[in-house]
């Protein structure tokens, strides 16, 4: 199985320091939906692993999160794409759970559910915690400059093997070129 794991906010959709709290605020980054569809058409299973601490903070509830994800799937279907597995961590940082990135629990759960080793699997994110989670499971971390990506580049990255891409479209170009 060919697998790609994506973060959500800042990779697929616009991010906000005030959180994405409603379907109306869920706005795809230009080209991101088409990039996911290209992965699907190239035979990739696409999973999303996203921290959603806005639930723990009381900014939105599970029903609202489900509405945002239903909107994502509708928009993807309109361009011939889909998300095959979508996992989220609803906990805040103080919970110290194993699923909240940078801990690897959510990525490990993707591997378990899909019965797929994660060694070398592309993981696309816009934050240091995405990259750290990817590295913890032996995956291939890709950092996009969208979302918090530029801020992340301003921090000292003590990680190896990180590929830096303009956006999800450029990351998909790189992933597909690696097949080749």
Active site residue ranges: 7, 9
Per-residue CA distances from 180 to 2, 141, 175, 176 (Å): 13, 19, 9, 7
Residue 64 neighbours by CB distance under 10 Å: 17
Structure tokens at 42: 């190239």
State how far the Cα of 32 lies from the Cα of 12, in Å rounded to an integer.
5
Q: At what angle do helices 62-78 and 32-41 cross, to 10 degrees?
A: 70
Characterize 92-103 residue by residue with b for buried, 16 or more Cβ atoms within 10 angstroms of its Cβ, and e for exposed.
Answer: beeeeeebbbeb
């Amino acid at each position: 199985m060919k697998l790609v794991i994506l973060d959500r906010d800042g990779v697929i959709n616009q991010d906000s320091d005030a959180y994405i709290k409603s379907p109306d605020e869920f706005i795809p980054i230009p080209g991101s939906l088409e990039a996911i569809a290209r992965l699907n058409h190239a035979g990739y299973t696409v999973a999303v692993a996203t921290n959603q601490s806005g639930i723990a903070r009381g900014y939105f509830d599970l029903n609202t999160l489900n509405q945002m994800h239903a909107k994502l799937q509708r928009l993807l279907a309109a361009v011939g794409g889909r998300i095959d597995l979508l996992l989220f961590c609803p906990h805040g940082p103080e919970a110290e759970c194993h699923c909240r990135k940078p801990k690897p629990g959510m990525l490990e759960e993707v591997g378990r559910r899909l019965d797929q080793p994660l060694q070398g699997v592309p993981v696309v994110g816009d934050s240091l915690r995405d990259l750290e989670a990817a590295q913890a499971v032996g995956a291939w971390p890709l950092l996009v400059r969208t979302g918090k990506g530029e801020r992340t580049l301003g921090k000292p990255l003590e990680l190896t093997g990180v590929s830096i891409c303009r956006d999800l479209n450029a990351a998909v170009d790189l992933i597909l070129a690696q097949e080749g």
